Amino acid sequence: MMSDPPDRVTKARAAYHVIQDAMCAALAGIDGGSFSVDRWARSGGGGGESRVLEGDGSIERAAALHSDVWGETPDRLSDTMAVGSTNFRATGVSVIVHPRNPHAPTLHANLRYFELDDGRSWFGGGADLTPYYLYEEDATHFHRILREVCERHPIADYPHWKRSCDEYFRLPHRGEARGIGGIFFDHITDPTMHEYQVDLGSALIDAYVPILERRSDTPFGADQEEWHLIRRGRYAEFNLVWDRGTRFGLETAGRTESILSSLPPRARWVYRHAPPADTPEAELLEFLSGEPREW
Amino acid sequence: MMSDPPDRVTKARAAYHVIQDAMCAALAGIDGGSFSVDRWARSGGGGGESRVLEGDGSIERAAALHSDVWGETPDRLSDTMAVGSTNFRATGVSVIVHPRNPHAPTLHANLRYFELDDGRSWFGGGADLTPYYLYEEDATHFHRILREVCERHPIADYPHWKRSCDEYFRLPHRGEARGIGGIFFDHITDPTMHEYQVDLGSALIDAYVPILERRSDTPFGADQEEWHLIRRGRYAEFNLVWDRGTRFGLETAGRTESILSSLPPRARWVYRHAPPADTPEAELLEFLSGEPREW
């Protein structure tokens, strides 16, 4: 047991709370609704605070999840990282936003910090965007903000992390990317990652909120909603079949309701659905099925 | 390559086609719509015929899938069964029915036969029912038909296979059974399993169709539909997270559209949804969270 938490965990945990607060405030401000707050305890040690907004506003569901857990190191922790360790401590924050309007993209972001009792520690995380219609200016804006954060921190490697994100957020069984990517990093031991994560966390609002605002009033009809739901089915497929964090959580008796709050609130599956040629729907699909783009 | 198929594969394949035909005829008769037919080829050898009904009738989606595939034995085939084998041949039929009415349960059934070129061969399969409202007479009827088929064949072991089904169709991350169970068997080498499968295949109509018919006209409102969609979300979770066949198919580049035709046509996720006490919804949940029942 590490009941007296080392300084770095305390710092990370506090920074993640600030990010959680700021994202909730920004999202609730746009939506007009409010987040419900659930505190939960983990039987093996620690716990978390899950905040979820599910109202009638422009956001159909948003989740801002904070956790700070410790205990015996699970065998499966991060592949082979657990070898030689008996106890671990992990803290993290995740934000997932599923807007109601099909023209507004889904945001996913996660920042996390791990420590093992053999002295090893590392940072992981990232942020990515999943649009249902391809607005190049949105993708360019999102990537520009992420790249600028990276440029302010010597430890950050935007080109590498952008590529890792493209590789990770893929549905091999569909031959499709999940969205327009972002950044993804893991197992970064350098302690200056703390300052990078603080900066990234606060930049998430700039990266996403203006996009959510400018797309939330776009008119849409039943056809666009159907497309939205079909693409959200793909999002559910990625999270349930391929996402390592989701699978690890479900297979190791994590808190199911928090883990699955990343799923879309509604989804649709249609056998062999294919959008008509030369439509915005076909354009998105063509992009997702092709090589990743530099934004 | 086994271009001259041994007799047992030919028999199984033909029997599965008869089952596919009979189920499609029975389901189309009730629904009023018709199945579309897709024939597909597998790059490694063989192929299949997927029939799907997605109309406006009492069935929201039904899939009747036939396959007959062969080639190099995948490393991951049925855990350690592949050891010592270079080539395999597998044929099977699956039927999944997602009715529109929340009072009508979902049917899943699968019959399959495997052969390895080292001489080993085995049968697998089963049938199970997933209701959204618990009608005891439906569960009793379904299990009675399955038990009676087993009683006609010395190789069949209803109590064992019923228990295997309860164990397999569970969502550990929810602490819930998927539905009211049925039977589940695998790795049965006895050749008289052929006659058992033929009998089971034809009994599926008796086991399911009367239930579908008597529940499809039950009135329902928005609350029942919401519950239906939330429970269908659980069905999607089981198939994508836990079902070995689905995961094996997606991870070994099977035909995605056929594999995922088992998913519900629509699904819904609500954070920490819990039905009010003393409602039919709470009654189902209580049953699914408890010990399996003998029907």
For residue range B225-240, what is the model confidence (pLDDT) as tens digits?
999 999 999 999 999 9
Quick one: pLDDT band at residue B85, thresholds 50, 70, 90? Answer: confident
Interface contact A269-B263, CB threshold 8 A: yes
Instruction: State the catalytic residue, choosing from B108, B141, B153, B228.
Output: B108
Q: What is the mean pLDDT of residues B201-212?
A: 98
Q: What is the mean pLDDT of residues A139-146?
A: 98
- A169 domain-assigned: yes
* pLDDT value at residue B253: 81
- A213 domain-assigned: yes
Quick one: pLDDT band at residue B86, thresholds 50, 70, 90? Answer: confident
* pLDDT value at residue B251: 87
- A294 domain-assigned: no
Establish, for the pair of chains A and B, how many residue pairs have beta carbons separated by less than 8 Å.
Answer: 88
Query: φ and ψ at B205, to 5 degrees?
Result: -65, -50
Per the structure, the complete domain to which residue B226 belongs is given by 7-289
Out of A3-17, A243-257, B250-264, which region has the weakest mean confidence (pLDDT)?
A: A3-17
Interface contact A52-B271, CB threshold 8 A: yes
- B281 domain-assigned: yes
- Nearest by CB to residue B266, choosing from A38, A254, A268, is A268
Q: What is the mean pLDDT of residues A205-222?
A: 98
* pLDDT value at residue B19: 98
- A1 domain-assigned: no
Taking only the tens place, the pLDDT of each residue in B115-168 is 999 889 999 999 999 999 999 999 999 999 999 999 999 999 999 999 999 999
- The token pair at B165 is 């089904």
pTM: 0.95
- Nearest by CB to residue B256, choosing from A174, A267, A268, is A174
Mutate to test the interface with A, among B235, B270, B271, B273 (most CBs of A within 10 A): B271
Residue A105 vs residue B44, higher pLDDT:
A105
- Nearest by CB to residue A271, choosing from B52, B254, B267, is B52
Interface contact B263-A61, CB threshold 8 A: no
* pLDDT value at residue A137: 98
> Which residue stretches of B120-263 are H helix?
136-151, 158-168, 193-215, 222-237, 244-251, 256-259
CA count, 13 A, side-chain hemisphere, A35: 26
- Identify the CA nearest to B139 among candidates B27, B243, B24, B292: B292
- B125 domain-assigned: yes
Q: What is the CATH number of the domain that holds B191?
A: 3.40.1500.10
Quick one: pLDDT band at residue B33, thresholds 50, 70, 90? Answer: very high
- A295 domain-assigned: no
* pLDDT value at residue A56: 94
Min Cα distance A290 → chain B (Å) is: 18
Min Cα distance B239 → chain A (Å) is: 9
Contacts of A244 in chain B (CB under 8 A): none
Min Cα distance B33 → chain A (Å) is: 16
CA count, 13 A, side-chain hemisphere, B255: 24
* CB atoms inside a 10 Å sphere around CB B172: 12
Active site residues of A: 108
Q: What single DSSP character describes residue B5?
A: -
- Nearest by CB to residue B265, choosing from A250, A265, A269, is A269
Cα B107 vs. chain centroid, distance in angstroms? 6
Taking only the tens place, the pLDDT of each residue in A55-71 is 999 999 999 999 999 99
Contacts of A62 in chain B (CB under 8 A): none
Out of A31-45, A229-243, B67-81, B114-128, which region has the weakest mean confidence (pLDDT)?
A: B67-81
> Looking at the 3D structure of chain A, how many domains does it have?
1
Taking only the tens place, the pLDDT of each residue in A67-124 is 999 998 877 765 567 677 789 999 999 999 999 999 999 999 999 999 999 889 999 9
Whether A1 has a pLDDT exceeding 70, the answer reads: no
- B1 domain-assigned: no
Out of A190-204, B75-89, B249-263, which region has the weakest mean confidence (pLDDT)?
A: B75-89
* pLDDT value at residue A273: 97
Q: What is the mean pLDDT of residues A254-260?
A: 95
Interface contact B265-A266, CB threshold 8 A: no
* pLDDT value at residue A114: 94
Min Cα distance A196 → chain B (Å) is: 31
* pLDDT value at residue B7: 85
Let me know: does A243 contact B241? Beta carbons within 8 Å. no
- By C-alpha distance, the chain B residue nearest A270 is B265
Interface contact B241-A250, CB threshold 8 A: yes
Residues of A in CB contact (< 8 Å) with B are: 36, 38, 52, 54, 61, 63, 172-174, 229, 233, 236-237, 240-241, 247, 250-251, 253-254, 256-257, 259-261, 263-272
Whether B81 has a pLDDT exceeding 90, the answer reads: no
Q: What is the mean pLDDT of residues A9-19?
A: 97
* CB atoms inside a 10 Å sphere around CB B223: 12
Q: What is the mean pLDDT of residues B91-109?
A: 98
- The token pair at B4 is 């001259």
Contacts of B48 in chain A (CB under 8 A): none
CA count, 13 A, side-chain hemisphere, A242: 18
Interface contact B270-A54, CB threshold 8 A: yes
Quick one: pLDDT band at residue B80, thresholds 50, 70, 90? Answer: low
